[in-house]
Amino acid sequence: MNKIFYFFIIFILISECSLNKNSKFWTSTKNIQKENNIEYEEVFSNEGALKKELNTNLKIKLKNKNFRKISTNNYNNTGQLNFDGDLKESISYRFSKIKNFNQLEPEISFYKDNVIFFDNKGSILRFNNESDLIWKKNYYSKVEQKMGPVLELENNGKYIIVADNFSKYYMLDIFTGKQLWIKNNLAPFNSQIKIYKDKFFIIDFSNTLRCFSLKNGDELWNIKTENTLIKSQKKLSMVIIDEVVYFNNSIGDISAVEINKGELLWQLPTQSSLIYESAFSLETSDIITDKENLFLSNNKNQLFSINAATGTINWENKVNSNIRSIIIDEFIFTISIEGYLVILEKNSGNIIRVTDVFKNFRQKKIDDVSPTGFIIGLKNIYLSTDKGRLLVIDILSGKIKSTLKIDNDKISKPFIQGKNLFLIKDNAIIKLN
């Protein structure tokens, strides 16, 4: 009871104050200035979500020539990928139906042109480029299989690290699927896995970042952040820059940890003193980085730029998004929960253009459609929705070029590997080219 009273008093005191940049919070309003003869404006007049377009006739030309061929890395920033497929041909990689797919944020683990994924019983499957099964392994008891293990996978080209919602983590040989070691954690896992040199990192449900040895799975160190009854509504994320790992927890704190010694360098709360009330519904995006700054957003109408070295907030803007943004050149691309494609200037946070890509859905009175993720190729943005649609959006204009029906229910964010685009549904991976 005393704790509740304490937080109530703190909230009353803080609510009467204006917080500034030096305290690592912006005030409630921020003036957006003019740059490069482009008109900027305060798109948000209140705390509500963005509901209008801006500079729709502005053409966005990207100059980045350092195109990537894959969509995963330790920076979480896919950038602009070397992909321009016509999405006319498809192949399915099928597996037993995942019952709780709508609550998952599944990711594919790629090895060259191979696909590595899991099914509803916890079996791990490796497919070749033609969807032929190379191997299938299951290391769960019959009782555990019936419970439907949820797996997170990552590989380094030799080994596959697996972590699950049963508090287990283990390593497989990528070529044979043979289990090399298995360990148990104190709590289930709920995050990405990042492999860095001879170590790997996972966050568990106790809001603890754990560093393990790649060789044998032994824990080397851990960093505990505030553990509450509040559990993340989204899978937690991390990025690695040089010898520092940055991660978020379920209540919106961002932490920086030195990799070799496990020393906490800084910690930044992104939520107010109302966290114990608001965090029950907090959904944050993955953290991304340009190697100097961190960027993340949430469903509380906040998009942050944070200095990676100091943990101070560079800027904050009101963009309502819980999916991963993408950095290309001087731009940040993101999709709001309401279906607006928002492009910001990376250094200032100024909003450059806003286009309503869900306009057609709204005209058809389909108001509950939500984005599940997006990726950017040479000419197009590929955006997936929880209604099983893949939208192909022109980068230059922000206009929809085509809509593909993949399923009637939720599909994952898109992935690009080589000349193919992949989407996950509840019983298959769909490859388009």
Residue 311 pLDDT exceeds 90? yes
- Which pLDDT does position 88 carry in this prediction? 84
Q: Which of 134-143, 222-231, 292-301 shows the lowest per-residue confidence on average (mean pLDDT)?
A: 222-231
Whether residue 268 is predicted with pLDDT greater than 70 in this model: the reply is yes
Cβ neighbours of residue 67 closer than 8 Å, sequence gap 6 or more = 79, 80, 81, 82, 378
Amino acid, res. 93: Y
Fold of 33-100+323-433: Lipocalin (2.40.128)
Residue 162 CA to residue 179 CA, distance in Å, equals 10
pLDDT score recorded for residue 99: 85
Is the pLDDT assigned to residue 7 strictly greater than 80? no
Tell me the per-residue pLDDT of 376-421, one tens digit each, with 9 for 90 and over: 999 999 999 999 999 999 999 999 999 999 999 999 999 999 899 9
Query: What average pLDDT does the segment 273-298 reach?
Result: 83
**Cβ–Cβ under 8 Å, residues 221 and 201:** no
65-86 mean pLDDT: 82
pLDDT of amino acid 242: 93
**pLDDT computed for residue 65 by the predictor:** 66
Give 200's strand partners: 195, 212
What one-character-per-residue DSSP string does 182-201 give? EEE-SS-B-B--EEETTEEE
Specify the pLDDT at position 9: 40
CA distances from 121 to 241, 345, 400 (A): 35, 45, 38
124-127/133-137 β-pairing: antiparallel
Contact 101, 89 (CB under 8 A): no
Mean pLDDT on 232-252: 91
Instruction: Provide, rounded to the nearest whole percent, the portion of the chain with pLDDT above 90.
Output: 74
* 3-state percent helix, strand, coil for the chain, nearest multiple of 5: 10, 40, 50
Q: Residue 93: pLDDT above 60? A: yes
Whole-number pLDDT of residue 38: 40
Higher pLDDT, 65 or 96: 96
Tell me: pLDDT of 13 over 70: no
This prediction's pTM: 0.87
39 vs 32: which has the higher pLDDT: 39
Predicted confidence (pLDDT) per residue in 323-348, tens digit = 999 999 999 999 999 999 999 999 99
Q: What is the pLDDT of residue 304?
A: 97
- Listed by start position, the domains of the chain span 33-100+323-433
Chain centre distance of CA 224: 22
Calculate mean pLDDT across residues 89-117: 92
Residue 276 is predicted with a pLDDT of 54
Q: How far apart are CA 426 and CA 103, in angstroms?
A: 11
pLDDT in tens, 150-203: 999 999 999 999 999 999 999 999 999 999 999 999 999 999 999 999 999 999
Q: Give residue 231's pLDDT.
A: 61
